[in-house]
């Protein structure tokens, strides 16, 4: 069965420190991987995606993610966290020819001033 795991319900990090939000996946075929952020009472905002090519993907607001095929991971990173980064983060995967996402359960990021 295809699945996405975000093993941490919550991640706390001090402002200015690097942050990592973890995501691993299990799919048949080549994955298309996405990260989204959700602020309270809002929809999801697209941050970045990996389709093919360079394993390090840069996205919006200074976020980046590294695709690791051998570890089937796509962790979200940022070199220096801001308080305004505090939100709910979702990892999602789809495969070629399918429009449906499989979502992870979400990770709440809390950046402490």
Partner 1 sequence: GAVVSQHPSRVICKSGTSVKIECRSLDFQATTMFWYRQFPKKSLMLMATSNEGSKATYEQGVEKDKFLINHASLTLSTLTVTSAHPEDSSFYICSASRTGSSNQPQHFGDGTRLSIL
Q: Which of 2, 5, 15, 49 binds partner 1 (CB under 8 A)?
A: 49
List residues bridging with 78 in a β-sheet. Answer: 19
Beta carbon of residue 37, minimum distance to partner 1 (angstroms, whole number): 11
Structure tokens at 71: 């570890």
**Contact with partner 1 (CB under 8 A) among 34, 63, 67, 89:** 34
Query: For partner 1, which stretch binds (CB under 8 A), given 19-27, 32-40, 64-72, 77-85?
Result: 32-40
State which residue, 70 or 97, has the beta carbon closest to partner 1. 97
- Residue 47 Cβ, how far from partner 1 at the closest point, in Å? 9
Give the whole-angstrom CA distance, residue 59 versus residue 15.
20
Query: SS3 for 100?
Result: coil
Instruction: Name residue 20's beta-bridge partners.
Output: 77
Query: What contacts 53, CB < 8 A, 6 or more positions away?
Result: none
Q: Rounded to 5 degrees, what are φ and ψ at 33?
A: -115, 140
Q: Which is nearer to partner 1, 12 or 80 (CB)?
A: 12
Site residues (vs partner 1, CB under 8 A): 32, 34, 36, 41-46, 49, 51, 90, 94-101, 103-106
């Amino acid at each position: 069965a295809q699945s996405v795991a975000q093993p941490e319900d919550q991640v706390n990090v001090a402002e200015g420190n690097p942050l990592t939000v973890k995501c691993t996946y299990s799919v048949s075929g080549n994955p298309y991987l996405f990260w989204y952020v959700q602020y309270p009472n809002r929809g999801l905002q697209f941050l970045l995606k990996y389709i093919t090519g360079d394993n390090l993907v840069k996205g919006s607001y200074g976020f980046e993610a590294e695709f690791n095929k051998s570890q089937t991971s796509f962790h979200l990173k940022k070199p220096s966290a801001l308080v305004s980064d505090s939100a709910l983060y979702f990892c999602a995967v789809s495969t070629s020819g399918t429009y449906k996402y499989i979502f992870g359960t979400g990770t709440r990021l809390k950046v402490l001033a």
